[in-house]
Amino acid sequence: MPPTPANPDIVAVTIALDGCASKAELLERIAAALHFPGWFGHNWDALADCLTDLSWLPAGAYRITLTQAAPLRRAAPETLATALEIFDAAAAAWADQGVDFRVCLTEDGADDGTAPPAAPAARQ
């Protein structure tokens, strides 16, 4: 998604995770939403590389919202935890450059009573 009309310097992206149950599906959804280049390798290292580059999607700030994460958390909790760690590292890297990069995770409908994994703090 290009920068928003309300604020052309912010890229805001929502990634729905409903029905997502694997690392491969998660990486594909992130790649599609953020328009990753063809060289994206569909692995954790490539995700980290792309999240800390984003030269094809320049902005002064990034807002990424991951919605409906409960099914992925139940099906592949380690996958979600690793992805959140990578997003957190990307936020730290962008903060070092003075760019605000935030990720919001919503469980949407988690009804199994278990607590979600701790989401990384937003870096500013």
Tokens of 66: 């991951």
The two structure tokens encoding residue 46? 């490539």
CA triple 31-121-56, angle to 5 deg = 30
Distance, CA of 19 to chain centre: 16
pLDDT-based confidence at 94, cuts 50/70/90?
very high
Contact at 8 Å (CB) between 97 and 49? no
> Which pLDDT tens digit goes with each residue over 68-90?
999 999 999 999 999 999 999 99
First to last CA, the chain: 22
Does the pLDDT at position 7 exceed 60? Answer: no
Q: What is the pLDDT of residues 42-53, one digit of tens each?
A: 999 999 999 999
Domains of the chain: 10-105 (3.30.370.10)
Q: Quick check: 23 pLDDT over 80?
A: yes
